[in-house]
Amino acid sequence: MTMKRFFDDAFHRPRALLLIAAAAATAIASGAMFLSMHEAEPIVAGPGVTSQKMLSDYVPAMAGTPADTPVFILEGAEPGGTALVLGGTHPQEISGLMGAVLMVENATPQRGRIIVLPQANRSGFTHTDPLEGFPHTYKIETAGGTRWFRVGMRLTNPVHQWPDPDLHLHPQSGERMVGWESRNLNRNFPGDPDGRYTTRLNAAIVALARAEGVDIVLDMHEAYPEYPIINMLVAHERAFEIATLTMIGLQTRGIAMDLMASPPALRGLSHREFGDHTEAFAILSETANPAMGRFRGRTDEALVVEGKDVNYVRAAALDRLFVPFDENGHPLRERTARQLATIEEMLIAYNEANPDKQVEVSGIPAYQAVIDEGIGRFLLPVPAQ
Ligand SMILES: [Zn+2]
C-alpha cells in the first residue's frame, strides 16, 4: 500500500483516523512522562556550601553521562577532617536523599569539611519498577512554596545499563551475585573505571574520596519494616569504635539504634570497600520505609511521605516486623530526623577519636524539630531560573 492510498483510506475511515490520533496522543503523553523522569529535583546550596562541583570534576570521563552528579562542599574556616555523606546510593530509600538535602541546605561547618552527594546514583532516580504502582515524585510544602522530590529505584535504570548478565561477578573479589546486582551501586564498590555504567560510578565516587582525603563516610539507606537490618548502623571494623559511640549517643537521646559489623566476605558494599580501599572510616545507616515493603497497601504519595499503613500495624501485632509500628507509622520526617541525628552523633564520636582532625558543624536540623515542625521548615526556596 502506498502512503497516499493509506491516507486516502484513513480519510474515508473515521474510526481509523480516531485510532491513529489516540495512538499518537498516548505516545506523546508517555514520551513526555518518560523524558520528565530524567529531570532531577532542585537542591539549593545553603549558607554552609562553599563550593559546588560535579563528580566529573574529579573523573572527567563522567562528564555528559547520566551518572554525573552534584557534589556540595561545606568547608569551615578552621582546618580539620573531612566527612563524606552519601544519599541516593539506593534512590528508593528516600530518607537518604532527604538527610543529604537538609545537610546541604542547613549545615555550616566551623572546622573541617563535609562533602555531600545527595543523588549518588542519579540514574536510579529516573525510573520506578514496573507493575509496582510507585509514585514518581512527592511534594513537601514549605513557607517559600512547594518543593518536589523523586522516588527512584534501588538499581541503575536499565536504559543506562542493559542487559543484566545471568550472573554478576564483583570485579575485585569474584564474589558471585544475581545478575541484576550489576546495576546495584552498593554491590560494586570500589568500582572499575573501565567497567559498565554502575562500576564506573562506583570508581568515580571512590576517586573523589581519595582526592579529597575523606576521613569518614556515612552512606544513608532505608529498608522495609520486615527486614532485620533497620534502625541499624553497619560499620567497617576500623570504624567500629566510632559506630559504637554513635549508637550509644543515639540511644542516650531515646533514638533506638542497633549496630552490626560489616561482614568481611560480603563484597562491594560501601561500609566494606571504603574501609578496605580508602583511609576513611566507613559506616552505613538504615531507617525503616514502609513504602518499600511487600506488606504495604495502596502505594501513593501519602504512604511515601506519611509512612502510615494499616497492614503494617497488623503485621506488627503479629510480631512480623523488626521495628515497632503503630497508627502513626514511620513518616519521612522521622526517618530523615534519624539520619541527621546519626550524622551529629557520628561526628561527635569521630571528633573524640580524632582530636587533630575534627569536623565541627552547626545548623544540622535538630531531631525533635524535624519531627515536630516537618521537613518543609528546613527546605530553602528554589531561586527562580
Ligand atoms: Zn539501600
pLDDT averaged per 10 residues, the chain (length 385) = 68 82 90 80 98 98 97 98 98 98 98 98 95 94 96 97 97 96 98 97 98 98 94 98 98 97 97 98 98 95 97 96 96 98 98 98 98 98 89
Give the three-class secondary structure for 178. strand
Give the Å distance between the CA of 107 and the centre of ligand 1.
24
Ligand 1 centroid distance, CA of 123 (Å): 15
315 alpha carbon – ligand 1 mean position (Å): 22
Task: Show Cβ contacts of residue 305 under 8 Å, excluding neighbours closer than 6 positions.
Answer: 138, 139, 140, 331, 332
**221 C-alpha to center of ligand 1: Å?**
4
CA 11 from centre of chain: 52
Q: How far apart (Å, rounded) are the C-alpha atoms in residues 150 and 379?
A: 15
Residue 339 CA: distances (Å) to CA of 64, 101, 274: 31, 11, 19
Q: Residue 127 — left, alpha, or beta (φ > 0 → left; ψ -120 to 50 → alpha)?
A: beta
- Written as one string, the DSSP assignment of 209-251 is HHHTT--EEEEEEEE-TTSSS-SEEEE-GGGHHHHHHHHHHHH
For the structural domain made of 43-378, what CATH number should be given?
3.40.630.10
Q: Contact at 8 Å (CB) between 339 and 220?
A: yes
How far lies 384's CA from each of 5, 128, 146, 381, in Å?
A: 51, 29, 13, 9
49: left (phi over 0), alpha (psi -120 to 50) or beta: beta
Domain ranges for the chain? 43-378
For residue 321, the CA-to-ligand 1 centroid distance in Å is 18
Q: How far apart are CA 265 and CA 248, in angstroms?
A: 27
- Distance from C-alpha of 375 to C-alpha of 353, rounded to nearest angstrom: 32
d(CA 336, CA 121): 19
Around Cβ 238, how many Cβ atoms within 10 Å? 15
Contact 41, 148 (CB under 8 A): yes
CA of 360 to the centre of ligand 1 (A): 27
3-state secondary structure labels for all residues of 47-88: CCEEEEEEHHHCCHHHCCCCCCCEEEEEECCEEEEEEEEECC
Ligand 1 center–CA 32 separation, angstroms? 29
Pairing of strands 281-288, 216-223: parallel
Residue in this structure with the C-alpha cell 512554596, named with its chain if needed: 145
C-alpha 358 to ligand 1 mean position (Å): 28
Helix (H, G, I), strand (E, B) or coil at 332: helix
Cα-to-centroid distance, 284 and ligand 1 (Å): 9
The pLDDT of residue 1:
58
For ligand 1, the distance from its centroid to the CA atom of residue 91, given in whole angstroms, is: 8
Neighbours of 18 (CB within 10 A): 11
Distance CA 233, CA 219 (A): 10
Ligand 1 centroid to residue 366 C-alpha, Å:
24
In the block, residue with C-alpha cell 570521563: 61
Q: Exposure string (b/e) for 345-367, b if CB count within 10 Å is 16 or more?
A: bbbbbbbeebeebbbbbebbbeb
Predicted local distance difference test score (pLDDT) of residue 6: 66
> Residue 184 C-alpha to ligand 1 middle, in angstroms?
9
**pLDDT of 199:** 98
CA 187–ligand 1 middle distance (angstroms)? 10
Q: Ligand 1 (ion): which residues have CB within 5 A? A: 90, 93, 221
- Residue 374's pLDDT is what? 98
- Residue 51: strand pairing partners: 73
Residue 96 Cα to ligand 1 middle (Å): 9
Give the bridge partners for 147, in sequence order: 140
Residue 89 CA to ligand 1 centre (angstroms)? 7
Question: Cα(56) to centroid of ligand 1, in Å?
Answer: 24
Structure confidence at residue 7 (pLDDT): 66
Matching residue, cell 549496630? 259
Question: 154 alpha carbon to ligand 1 midpoint, in Å?
Answer: 7
Give residue for cell 555528559.
64
